[in-house]
Amino acid sequence: MKKFDLPIGVYAITDSKSGKNKEFLEYCEDLLKGEAKIIQYREKKRDLKLLLEEAKALRELTLKYNATFIVNDYLDIALLSEADGIHIGQDDLPIKDVRKILGENKIIGISTHNPQEAQQAIIDGADYIGVGPIFYTETKEDVCAPVTLEYLDFVNKNIKLPYVAIGGIKENNIDKVLAMGAKSICLVSELVGADNTLETTKRINNIIKHWHKN
Ligand code: 3NM
């Protein structure tokens, strides 16, 4: 039995530019008020003490809004902040070793970019996968070329794991991703760059939920 399903709606990821016009936590609270039910804390190349401090604060905030809290990459930060789980990349520690450290009850997600990686994620015991980048993105450094809607279609039809569609997804192209069956959708720059993060998150959540209402 699956222990976890991704919520239908926006899968929010923080970015070093999150809250550039606002305090970081205020930005995250806008995501939560806009009904994001899952937040991944993704911050690269920063002071570990600061990462832990922010992760703990975000853990507290996500509990207040009854949202799932995932930490990107850092196992130590995930454990110390009592996150619900971790999201890793293909070059990180193997899932079975991450599982040994985190335990059975925590969520492990992994980014995948092709059918082989998706199939391997099942074998390795991932709880969900990231599917991307669907479209061109400048947000993630060293990411591969867009995997296109073709890979999303493959995952939707063949991979029996929850998945989040990611990469270059905007309000003006989200319909294409929804039409493939995606239920959990991540938009980073679209939310970071929004004039009103709360309203934009809410509006995009409504689009996703409306699409899947039956
Ligand atoms: N992971 P935006 S693409 C964090 O394909 C991340 O694994 C990706 O940002 C992957 O919505 C990506 O601004 C960045 O394109 C997504």
The pLDDT of residue 176 is 97
The count of structural domains within the chain is 1
Quickly tell me which residue has 């850092």 as its tokens. 74
ipTM for the whole complex: 0.99
Regarding beta strands 184-186 and 38-41, do their DSSP bridges make them parallel or antiparallel, or are they unpaired? unpaired
Residue 213 predicted with pLDDT over 80: yes
On whether residue 2 sits in a domain, the answer given is no
Q: For residues 4 and 12, give the distance between their C-alpha atoms in angstroms, rounded to a whole number.
A: 17
On whether residue 197 sits in a domain, the answer given is yes
Average confidence (pLDDT) over 8-28:
87
Helices (H) and strands (E) in the chain, counts: 9, 8
On whether residue 50 sits in a domain, the answer given is yes
pTM for this entry: 0.96
The pLDDT of residue 26 is 94
Is 73 annotated in a binding site? The answer is yes
On whether residue 19 sits in a domain, the answer given is yes
Which CATH number does the domain housing residue 166 bear?
A: 3.20.20.70
The pLDDT of residue 174 is 98
Residue 203 makes CB contacts below 8 A (sequence gap 6+) with 171
Average confidence (pLDDT) over 142-159:
95
Residue 99 predicted with pLDDT over 70: yes
Domain range spanning residue 85? Answer: 9-209
For residue range 152-204, list pLDDT tens digits in order. Answer: 999 999 999 999 999 999 999 999 999 999 999 999 999 999 999 999 999 99
Burial of 142 (0-12, 13-18, 19+ CB in 10 A): exposed
Average confidence (pLDDT) over 68-90:
97
Regarding beta strands 9-13 and 184-186, do their DSSP bridges make them parallel or antiparallel, or are they unpaired? parallel
Distance 148 CA to ligand 1 centre (A): 13
Q: State the pLDDT confidence band at 28, using cuts at 50, 70 and 90.
A: very high
Which atom of ligand 1 has the smallest separation from the CA of 189? Answer: 13
The pLDDT of residue 15 is 86
**Is the beta carbon of 167 within 6 A of some atom in ligand 1?**
yes
On whether residue 118 sits in a domain, the answer given is yes
On whether residue 115 sits in a domain, the answer given is yes
The pLDDT of residue 1 is 44
On whether residue 140 sits in a domain, the answer given is yes
Distance 80 CA to ligand 1 centre (A): 25
On whether residue 1 sits in a domain, the answer given is no
